[in-house]
Structure 1
Amino acid sequence: MWKYLAIALFSFIWWGCPTTTVNSLSVEPVVFAEKPKNIVLLIGDGMGLTQVSALTYEQKNHSNFERFPVIGFQKTHAANNLITDSAASATAMATGVKTYRTAIGVGPDTLPRRSIFEEAKARKMATGLVATVAIVHATPAAFVAHQPYRNLYEQIADDFLNSDVDLFIGGGKKYFDKRFSDDRNLVSELKKKGYVVGDYSRDQLSARLMNPDHPFAYFTANNHPVSAIQERVYLPRAAKLSAWFLEQRSDVGFLLMVEGSQIDWAGHSNDGRQLIEELRDFDKAVGAILEFAIENKETLVLVTGDHETGGLAINPGSKMNKLKLAFTDNDHTATMVPVFAFGPGAEHFAGIYDNTDIYFKMREVLGWTETSEAPGQ
């Protein structure tokens, strides 16, 4: 009898009080708002469950992934292939549309699909993107651009200029100011639109450089930033500053996507050492956002991958802090990837679902009903 009473009591506490979450690495519960005002989506490119396991076993301290009370799994396949790529997967999460590999913000018919960022802007919310590759790469691009092929980098840069995204931080400056397709200087055009534009070669990324009264762009490299092994360290700071900036930028709320981009590259190259360092860097960014969310109390934090890369295994003979990692391939796999959720609305992200459901679940927790339309639709 006591067993069933305990189960009933647990169920009441869990489902009856959705605004209270216990941080598994702290004693005090965090009482959140009834529903989120902001969402931060952190995407570890190429990060599956084994990658998260490797990080957890490799380092002596707890990873920030262990702080999430709600965990689900998403199916990642593309419309035309069981094995997806970052373009199709990010488009699925950004628009709720299953599409073909290489597609950026378009459906199987190559027609543009409105992203959750564009819906948020129509509702006067602020939006931001942070990446550790060129900002015009597939994952960040899918939230603001509409192109049939992911490698149309200069056209994607054009879409950034037309998107009115409030903040973006990443590499790829050359696609804005040293272009092959035309002689436009999109950096100058961004400034004319009112953006404060920072540059890795002369400006330190800091709050002093960022004025919430103006949109902000910061280029961390001419093409792609260096790897975490080569001492790239800006991601955690960029994540924290971006959340602060976007919170000041709009009273309505914000959406922020932060990508640990080069986890994927370590998987493609089957480089276990680089993989762990990229995961550590990404984990620090996750921690920075969790601390923001705990203080803010109106922010839902989601962490997931777009797909798994490398078919990673932790082989027999592994020891804590000394793993024997092995890869079965140098490309993407179809394995499901975990979804970690923390904050108001986190309970909606438990279970197994399609990657397109990330989009619909985000809309649901924000209170955007299927029948309601954003202003300007």
Structure 2
Amino acid sequence: MNYKNISAVFIAFTLFSCSTTKKTTQSPKPKNVILLISDGTGLSQISSAFFFKDSKPNYTRFKNIGLIKTSSAGQDITDSAAGATAFSCGVKTFNSAIGVANDSTAVQTIVELASSKNVKTGLIASSAITHATPGSFFGHQINRGMGDEIAVDLLGGKVDFFAAGGLKYFTKRKDKRNLVTELTALNYKIDTTALGKFAQIKSSQKAGFLLAKDQMPKMSQCRGDFLSDATELGIQFLSKDNAPFFIMTEGSQIDWGGHDNDAPYLIAELLDFDNLIGKVLDYAEKEGNTLVVVTSDHETGGFTLSAKRKKKADGTEYDDYSKVGTSFSTGGHSATLIPVFAFGPGSEEFNGIYENNEIFSKIVKLTGWDSKK
């Protein structure tokens, strides 16, 4: 081979390499999005899985990890309503706000936006469906305590599947309305007894499960695999016609364990959430076109993993560095940065440090749901 031929081969190889590189660096577009929110969970809560779980935590399966700043519009320390509204609407707002901007005007939620793009939507929580986090994905109220009003917002029909507690906000209301009857009239198949199987809702247009008067039971009260099972059922139902979908599932009660300064309560709920992560990642790995984002609205309790405090025979205390103990610094929320874990198409976009409302903008940009078409 002469010099000219060698040069030609080299140039052709270089052009091919550049072309190949260009193609592989294009941002992928996920078909589905699953957002998992562990309310009240900071790095120490996540770290507890590495010490108290009998198997390897599913958090270890993520390669793309970032951090969010959680302050609300007017407060350094957010509450769950403002934190969830940042995720659901992409705006910073005031504490207690549900799906409204800082001036109290309603803002389109990601559920409403996705629905307008013919994307199926689902919400699951171990709290009432009207509670701060799930409520912020379909409701528009100035105060998270307006449970009856938030329940009425669900009648907008943008949520295709939901599973949580909160039945009292639908049937034991001050205005005497029966919202279960009204939801049924809007083509929802509503079950207030058990989660059931896919075959029971397969032919339904929409489905909802209200399985407790208020919040769902604690893990210590035999809630079982509700979060994982409800999320798997939601995926089956929403994708039954090969439609794209958005699901938000909240592990609500990690936060409540933090407020109570109850480490066993907190850890049991966190381990249940880690099991949920495993189920979702199993699906996403197999399906291949699902973006999974895992984060929290804020940290609760100032939870700390430290050396276990023990007493000597004479009554003096000491730190046993061979054992992990737990402690709390507050009964409220803290301002610590919160981890974000992402898997699937576009997951690298969630690396770095950014504001909590950018979770919304990153998702809608990657999916193309922000387009005007």
- Note whether the superposition's TM-score is higher than 0.5: yes
Identity %: 42
Q: Secondary structure of the equivalent of 1:255?
A: strand
Counterpart of 1:240?
232
List alignment gaps of at least 5 residues for structure 2: 1-19, 309-318
**Structure 2 contact 166–212 (Cα < 8 Å) conserved:** yes
Counterparts of 1:163 and 1:87, CA distance in 2: 21
Secondary structure, counterpart of 1:315 in structure 2: strand
Partner of 2:367: 366
Is the partner of 2:86 in helix, strand or coil? helix
Q: Tell me which residue corresponds to 1:329.
A: 330
Q: What SS does structure 1 have at the residue aligned with 2:223?
A: coil
Q: 8 Å contact 1:177–1:187 — kept in the other structure?
A: yes
TM-score of the aligned structures, taking structure 1 as reference length: 0.87
Which residue is equivalent to 1:82?
Answer: 76
Question: How far did 1:229 drift?
Answer: 1.1
Work out which of the residue numbers 147, 156, 160 in structure 2 matches 1:153.
147
Tell me the alpha carbon deviations over residues 178-203 of structure 1, each in whole angstroms, 9 at most, x when there is no partner: 111x1111000111111111112xx3
Q: Per-residue displacement from partner, 1:219-249 (whole Å, max 9, x unpaired)?
A: 1201111111111121111111111211115
Name which of structure 1's ranges 160-169 and 110-119 shifts more when overlaid on structure 2.
160-169
Which of 268, 288, 291 is the aligned partner of 2:279? 288
Three-state SS of the structure 2 residue aligned to 1:229 is helix
**Distance in 2 between residues matched to 1:320 and 1:18, nearest whole Å:** 47
With over 3 angstroms needed to count, the CA separation of the structure-2 counterparts of 1:322 and 1:215, relative to structure 1, is farther
Query: Paired residue for 2:8?
Result: none
Distance (whole Å) between structure 1 residues aligned to residue 343 and residue 321 of structure 2: 27
Distance in 1 (alpha carbons) for counterparts of 2:241 and 2:161? 10
Q: Describe the shift of the 1:337–1:311 C-alpha distance in structure 2 as closer, same or farther (beyond 3 A).
A: same
> Which residue of structure 1 aligns with residue 178 of structure 2?
185
Alpha-carbon shift at residue 206 of structure 1 (Å): 2.0
Contact map agreement 1:59 1:321 (CA 8 A) in 2: no
Aligned length, in residue pairs: 343
Report deviation, 1:315: 0.8
Partner of 1:299: 290
Aligned to 1:36: 30
Structure 2 residue identity aligned to 1:167: F
TM-score, scaled to structure 2 = 0.88
For the pair shown, the structure with the greater C-alpha radius of gyration is 2
Between the aligned partners of 1:77 and 1:187, the Cα distance in structure 2 is: 36
Give the structure 2 partner of residue 45 of structure 1: 39
Query: Deviation per CA, 1:46-91, whole angstroms, max 9, x where unpaired?
Result: 0111100011221131111110110001111011110100000000
Root-mean-square deviation (CA, aligned residues, Å) is: 2.1
- Asked if the contact 2:307–2:322 (Cα under 8 Å) also holds between the matched residues in 1, the reply is no
SS in 1 for 2:221: coil
Task: Report the counterpart of residue 265 of structure 2 in structure 1.
Answer: 274
More divergent stretch after superposition (272-281 vs 257-266): 272-281
Query: Which amino acid in structure 2 is aligned with residue 185 of structure 1?
Result: N
Indicate yes or no: 2:190 matched with 1:197. yes
Q: Is the 8 A contact 2:28 2:366 kept in 1?
A: no
Gaps of 5+ in 1: 1-12, 20-32
2:110 matched to 1:116?
yes
Instruction: Detail structure 1 runs of 4+ shifted over 3 Å in the superposition.
Output: 13-19, 317-322
- Change in Cα spacing, 1:301 to 1:319, as seen in structure 2 (3 Å) is farther
Say which SS state the counterpart of residue 65 (structure 1) adopts.
helix
Alignment-mate amino acid for residue 196 of structure 1: K
For 1:18 and 1:247, how far apart are their aligned partners in 2?
Answer: 28
Report the residue type matching 2:39 in the other structure.
D
Q: How does 1:242-257 map to 2 (within 5 A)?
A: 242-249=234-241, 251=243, 253-257=244-248
Provide the C-alpha distance between the structure 1 equivalents of 2:21 and 2:329, rounded to a whole number of angstroms.
Answer: 39
265 and 108 in structure 1: CA distance in 2 versus 1, 3 angstrom threshold: same
Who is 1:6 aligned against? Answer: none
Per the alignment, residue 25 of structure 1 pairs with none
Structure-2 change in CA distance of 1:67 and 1:359 (3 Å): same
2:208 maps to 1:209: no
